[in-house]
Amino acid sequence: MPDDILVDIEDLQFNYDGRPVLQGINMKIPRGKVVAIMGGSGCGKTTLLRCIGGQLRPTGGRVRLEKHQVCEMSEAELYRLRRKMGMLFQFGALFTDMSVFDNVAFPLREHTDMSEEMIRDLVMMKLEAVGLRGARKLMPGELSGGMARRVALARAVALDPMLVMYDEPFTGLDPIALGVIGQLIRKLNDALGATSIMVTHDIHESLLIVDYIYFLNGGRVVAEGTPDEIRASKDPFVHQFVYAEVEGPVHFDYPAPSIRQELLAGVTRV
């Protein structure tokens, strides 16, 4: 296997309560790249991320990270591996009982024996990188959604991870904050020499910053390619997604009998 592949996913399957969520995913994520995994809500994107982080054990298949088989590792080994990973949660998941500074310092204090001065310098650098050095004394409750996301980003990269995962980094942000986060993800990835996996359904922002895109639907990879290939794609699914069309292979209705049938059926006792 070539060494420039950091994360190698082979035939990954996951069932939740007997319902298949992932059905044989294959992905190769090269070092140093920003890769987006896209798809509608509930298509298993977040599940996929959590399998890579080892928080969920897949039903079948393998995830290789560097030389480690993530799915076969013990809890202690996983914890050692996760020190080299960073993750940004959907709404930041900042620790609400700590200040911004303490949030970013948290991984440093937990995993290193650095002196307080060194921690202070490092935290300042990380906060400067996301443009929030001045907000270090604020509590998470006093931050806007975009600012909280940037603090969480600073915290995710505090230990200079080799792999950073983003779970819906753009959800609930205004267009300006969204652009800021997108640029930061790209900038930080290149500055740290890290690899980034981004789960999102914001196609337009993603097309601007990522190197490669996977499309997921129904627990399978249905399309993949570089941003240019995606824009030029004739694939109906990709086309529907990129141009946000209502009609297409993806239905937004929950599966049900036709409305005509249900209305005519009348009221039945449940």
Partner 1 sequence: MFSPASLIRKLGHATVERIWRLGFAARFFVAILRLSGTSFRRLPLTLREIYFSGVLSLLIILVSGLFVGLVLGLQGFETLQRYGSTEALGVLVALSLTRELGPVVAALLFASRAGSSVTAEIGLMKATEQLKAMDMMAVNPIARVVAPRFWGGVVAMPLLAAMFSAMGVLGGWLIGVVFIGVDDGAFWSQMQAGVDWRYDVWNGVIKSFVFGIAVSLIAVFEGYDSVPTAEGVSRAITRTVVTSALTILALDFVLTSFMFRGAS
Q: Rounded to whole angstroms, how far apart are CA atoms 213 and 198?
A: 9
Q: Rounded to whole angstroms, how far apart are CA atoms 10 and 235?
A: 24
Identify which of 176, 233, 232, 229 has the alpha carbon closest to the alpha carbon of residue 205.
176
Which residue's CB is nearer to partner 1, number 16 or number 79? 79
Which residue's CB is nearer to partner 1, number 38 or number 163? 163
Closest distance of CB 5 from partner 1, Å: 22
Looking at residue 82, its amino acid is R
Residue 212 CB partners (closer than 8 Å, separation 6+):
29, 30, 33, 34, 35, 36, 224, 225, 226
Closest distance of CB 109 from partner 1, Å: 10
Binding site for partner 1 (CB under 8 A): 53, 55, 78-83, 85, 87, 89-91, 93-97, 106-107, 110-111
Closest distance of CB 238 from partner 1, Å: 30
Identify which of 228, 192, 221 has the alpha carbon closest to the alpha carbon of residue 207.
228
Which residue's CB is nearer to partner 1, number 168 or number 205? 168
Which residue's CB is nearer to partner 1, number 5 or number 81? 81
Closest distance of CB 94 from partner 1, Å: 8
Which residue's CB is nearer to partner 1, number 3 or number 113? 113
> Rounded to an integer, what is the distance from CA 238 to the centroid of its chain?
20
Looking at residue 220, its amino acid is R
Closest distance of CB 141 from partner 1, Å: 11
